[in-house]
Each structure stands twice: as structure tokens, then as C-alpha cells.
Chain A
Amino acid sequence: GENVEQHPSTLSVQEGDSAVIKCTYSDSASNYFPWYKQELGKRPQLIIDIRSNVGEKKDQRIAVTLNKTAKHFSLHITETQPEDSAVYFCAASEGSGGSYIPTFGRGTSLIVHP
């Protein structure tokens, strides 16, 4: 089955710095890669996703890059703010036609110091 490794497990940055979280996956059949943000005591929320036919996607201060050959994808957050502090999960998923079988990374706790 799929295996997703996520690094680092904890990331501490100063407000305004950039943060990068990296994930690797094992199954070349995976074709959908979402990133979720989970604040303490709250539900996970999708912040950005990318499909295997795209190499990069941006949404304001957040970007995701995908390298299918190397089987890794990364989340980039620029100009970090204290409200970005949360646990971030990556996932790799295979499926088609809306079917979704995700495998998650273990999460990265991002701490943004004011």
C-alpha cells in the first residue's frame, strides 16, 4: 500500500518568514495530493491541493509543488502569520471518478512566533 513520509514533524519560524513542509510518497498510482490545516481542537480543513498532471499551484501565500518522478511534494507558506500556527497534514490519494483513498503524513506542527 501507499506510504507517506512527512518532514519536519515540528517547524518553528518567526512571523514573516517562509515555511516549507515536505512529503514523499511511494505509490506511483497516486494522483491527487491535498494539504490540510488542523488548528487545535478543530476539524481538518483543505488549504490547497494538486493533481498529478500539474507541477505547481499557488493560492495567495500558499503554494504546492509536485515532482512525480521523485515522488515528492511540498507545501510553501510565505510571509507567515501567527494564525498560520497549526498542524499541517499532507496526503497522497489514488482513485478516479471522485473515488478517494487517501494516505496521510504524520503531520507537521507549525509554530509562528510573533
Chain B
Amino acid sequence: KAGVTQTPRYLIKTRGQQVTLSCSPISGHRSVSWYQQTPGQGLQFLFEYFSETQRNKGNFPGRFSGRQFSNSRSEMNVSTLELGDSALYLCASKEGKNEQFFGPGTRLTVL
């Protein structure tokens, strides 16, 4: 099976812009979670989608949003970008209580 894929791998944006990141889970996996990784805050949970519905949400402002499509692919959107949004954004997929597999991440730089 192909692993979790994320596009784009690198992105440079300026403050105030918005960005959309994409994640394709492993085939058969219905749960997709998103994480933000920064040197200062570490690895933080953003949200989890399951069967096109947001099942869980972390402690992030409303500028961070996401959605999941019927084929389980997921996108996350960050509006009104701030310098502090610069991070590695990771998605991960799983099925049931099984192991979670991470994608390679999207490195977002906000200038």
C-alpha cells in the first residue's frame, strides 16, 4: 500500500494570506488527523476527521479549519496567516484502533 502523502511539501506565504494543505491517507483509512510541529511548541494536535466529519479538535484558533472528502482525502486551511504559523504540518491516517501513520509533512514558512 502507498503511504500517507501530503502536498505541497514546501510553501512560502506572506502574512495575511491563506493557505490550503492536502493529505491523502493510506487506502482504507478513514481517520485523518492534522498536527502542527514547531521547535517552540513541539507537536500539537489540530483536529481529526472521520468519515467526512470533524471528530475531535485541538486548541487552535478558528483560522485553522479542515475538511474531509468522501474518498477520505483531507485538506486543512489556515486563513489570515501569522508569522507564528510557520511550522511543519503533519497529517496522519489510521483505521480503527490501529497504528497511526504520518505523512512527510508540509513545511510552511510565513514571511
Q: A100–B100 contact, CB under 8 A?
A: yes
Q: B45–A103 contact, CB under 8 A?
A: yes
Residue of B nearest to A44 (CB): B102
The answer to whether the Cβ of B70 comes within 8 Å of any Cβ in the partner chain is no
How many chain B residues touch the partner (CB < 8 A)? 24
Supposing A89-B43, A101-B45, A107-B42 touch, asked if A46 and B99 sit within 8 A by C-beta, the answer is yes
Q: A98–B105 contact, CB under 8 A?
A: no
Give chain B residues whose Cβ lies under 8 Å from the Cβ of A49: 99
Give chain A residues whose Cβ lies under 8 Å from the Cβ of B96: 98
Nearest CB in chain B: distance from A108 CB, A: 11
The answer to whether the Cβ of A1 comes within 8 Å of any Cβ in the partner chain is yes
Q: A1–B59 contact, CB under 8 A?
A: yes
Q: B56–A43 contact, CB under 8 A?
A: no
Supposing A43-B103, A46-B100 touch, asked if A100 and B48 sit within 8 A by C-beta, the answer is yes
Q: A98–B102 contact, CB under 8 A?
A: no
Give chain B residues whose Cβ lies under 8 Å from the Cβ of A101: 45, 48, 56, 58
Residue of B nearest to A42 (CB): B104
Give chain A residues whose Cβ lies under 8 Å from the Cβ of B42: 89, 104-107
Give B residues with C-beta under 8 Å from A: 31, 33, 42-45, 48, 50, 55-56, 58-59, 90, 94-97, 99-105
